[in-house]
A and B are shown apart, each in its own frame.
Chain A
């Protein structure tokens, strides 16, 4: 029996983080990634092909997200080059096999509160305000390479903190260089 519209909406909701993340890896624009996810959701409900199983729907959604994201890059003429398709497919397959769909907002919020002020500022400029790293460097007085290094460390620290928060209900944050 085909999945109902409500089930389709619920399944896509549950997978929103990873579908949006997959789109973002191609377009590297959070707004565009969100729009792509929504467009794919609309297609899922209107394409007229019944989805028999949730796995079939998710597989279709991942492929469609990738196509839409690549199309978006072409239309925008940004000059951005996406990762090669087989790598994107590999990432999608690994996403599909993960038990959870991404960091919970609540855990992330708690970990951000624990992050040092300078780190929070970097993350805000880069992801809340959507600035490119060069602009972040100008705004903070850091060099571009320093911004890359610090963001890389911050992502690693956030990952550790969120995992700890989700598994032990404790949040600790350390972005000190190894």
Chain B
């Protein structure tokens, strides 16, 4: 065996974890002197990391067919989250005890998780934190948070009342004599079974109090506005700034803001349009993406930015570069049987894309999350570098088996787009959902 062959053999045994201390010193001495060997070692290590990425990508592309959506998500975004970066924006923790006091039962089961996709966390009144919650788990009073882009969860109270948490929703939830929820931010969709007389379900937001006896409705709240959409029944809405009360009935919508000058009234709600297109104008503040205006021949576009894509087992968020569009208080678009998603994008180097849709039923209930992968091989860039894809609804695969297809007249509340390799400088110039026969312009 030549000296080089002997050293390469030492290297392979080092990488296999089989060198003694003395052999490792010998290897170190050789590497110290041999730049070619160091270059080879660096290259092998880089290959191993890339092979790991590829293995995880292939596992993602070939998920086990029978696993639940939550398992698919966890396989993709668990400790091994490929191309992911954990960051330190954990906002969970101690702030949840604020709402719980001795009057609320805190140890008995209040809800069971019926469905979940993405990262769902729970923090109990004493600060106990549980992350990565899964279907079937039963929990007592506490703060629930859907902590990743596209995360949604459906919870069921012991009486059968259901509440669905939209993505990036924080809500404290308790039940003693009556059900009480404090929605800090995000979206809740309710199916409330008839509640005992004198004990309505209560929902408090930063700007409103809702009192419910039995109905189907959706409430969206932020720091300065609450939007209520009632599908069936009646909800009593109180604007907190002045105590004014409004009864909102079937198919009506009302908004409670911090100001008292806005008209506080119920109006007939309408479904979102069937045609929707974006990025020619600046996106809403709650969307994720760095918008650049049109310049010369260059169209306006949105550049991918870090988004919370999932969560590690230890609760740490996992970041990916992506673009998110979400409805705030309303949904983005109503799906029809012939709806297609149209996308125009470019990347610094060829890369596959993933697009996720969060969908709700026409009555506000959770309708499932759906995902499609656009392999880089299936599109060719134009002379200007932009690629275009038109994807029918049938090409999306469900992330939760319980919701195998988008519901009829489903309404899209969230779209998340990300590239499936390292930072590829993803830019999206057009994102549209519209009937397939629509002309582009």
Q: Is B48 positioned at the interface, with any CB of A under 8 Å from its CB?
A: yes
Q: How distant is A107 from chain B, measured CB to nearest CB, in Å? A: 9
Please tell me if the beta carbons of B306 and A6 are within 8 angstroms of each other in the complex: yes
Please tell me if the beta carbons of A104 and B25 are within 8 angstroms of each other in the complex: no
Please tell me if the beta carbons of A127 and B48 are within 8 angstroms of each other in the complex: yes
Interface positions of B from 242 to 281, Cβ below 8 Å from A: none
Q: How distant is B151 from chain A, measured CB to nearest CB, in Å? A: 19
Please tell me if the beta carbons of A9 and B85 are within 8 angstroms of each other in the complex: yes
From B8, B13, B28, B51, A127 is in contact (CB under 8 Å) with B51
Please tell me if the beta carbons of A155 and B38 are within 8 angstroms of each other in the complex: no
Interface positions of A from 3 to 45, Cβ below 8 Å from B: 5-6, 9-10, 12-14, 16-18, 20-22, 24-25, 28, 30-31, 33-35, 38-39, 41-42, 45
Q: How large is the interface on A (under 10, 10 to 19, 20 to 34, 35 or more residues)?
A: 35 or more
Please tell me if the beta carbons of B42 and A21 are within 8 angstroms of each other in the complex: yes
CA–CA, A87 and B42, complex, Å: 12
CA–CA, A106 and B108, complex, Å: 51
Residues of B within 8 Å of A128, CB to CB, are: 51, 54-55, 58
Between B55, B58, B318, B321, the greatest number of chain A beta carbons within 10 A of the residue's beta carbon is seen for B55
Q: How distant is B49 from chain A, measured CB to nearest CB, in Å? A: 5
Q: Is B126 positioned at the interface, with any CB of A under 8 Å from its CB?
A: no
Chain B 1-29 near chain A by CB (<8 Å), digits 1 or 0:
00000001101111111111100110110
Q: How distant is B19 from chain A, measured CB to nearest CB, in Å? A: 7
Q: Is A86 positioned at the interface, with any CB of B under 8 Å from its CB?
A: yes
Please tell me if the beta carbons of B24 and A159 are within 8 angstroms of each other in the complex: no
Q: Given A9-B85, A46-B88, verify A24-B49 contact (CB < 8 Å).
A: yes
Please tell me if the beta carbons of A81 and B21 are within 8 angstroms of each other in the complex: yes
Q: Is A132 positioned at the interface, with any CB of B under 8 Å from its CB?
A: yes
Please tell me if the beta carbons of B79 and A31 are within 8 angstroms of each other in the complex: yes
Q: How distant is B346 from chain A, measured CB to nearest CB, in Å? A: 16
CA–CA, A30 and B45, complex, Å: 10
Q: Is A109 positioned at the interface, with any CB of B under 8 Å from its CB?
A: yes
Residues of B within 8 Å of A108, CB to CB, are: 47, 50-51, 54
Interface positions of B from 218 to 254, Cβ below 8 Å from A: none
From A35, A145, A148, A156, B79 is in contact (CB under 8 Å) with A35
Residues of A within 8 Å of B421, CB to CB, are: 104-106
Please tell me if the beta carbons of A41 and B21 are within 8 angstroms of each other in the complex: no
Q: Is A94 positioned at the interface, with any CB of B under 8 Å from its CB?
A: yes
Please tell me if the beta carbons of B45 and A21 are within 8 angstroms of each other in the complex: yes
Interface positions of B from 279 to 328, Cβ below 8 Å from A: 305-306, 312, 316, 318-319, 321
Chain A residues within 8 Å of B, Cβ to Cβ: 5-6, 9-10, 12-14, 16-18, 20-22, 24-25, 28, 30-31, 33-35, 38-39, 41-42, 45-46, 78, 80-84, 86-87, 90-91, 94-95, 98, 101-106, 108-109, 112, 123-124, 127-128, 132-134, 145, 148-149, 151-152, 155-156, 158-159, 162
Closest 9 CB pairs of A and B: A102-B46, A21-B45, A84-B28, A46-B88, A148-B12, A128-B55, A38-B86, A45-B88, A127-B51
Chain B residues within 8 Å of A, Cβ to Cβ: 8-9, 11-21, 24-25, 27-28, 31-32, 35, 38-55, 57-58, 79-81, 83-89, 305-306, 312, 316, 318-319, 321, 349-351, 376, 421-423
19 A/B residue pairs, CB under 8 Å, sorted by A: A6-B305, A10-B423, A16-B83, A18-B46, A21-B46, A24-B48, A28-B14, A38-B81, A38-B318, A45-B89, A83-B27, A84-B24, A90-B31, A94-B42, A103-B47, A108-B47, A133-B12, A149-B12, A155-B40
Q: Beyond the given A9-B306, A84-B32, could you list 14 further A-B residue pairs with CB under 8 A, ordered by the A residue number?
A: A6-B306, A10-B423, A13-B83, A16-B49, A17-B46, A17-B422, A20-B49, A21-B45, A24-B49, A84-B24, A103-B43, A128-B51, A149-B12, A159-B47
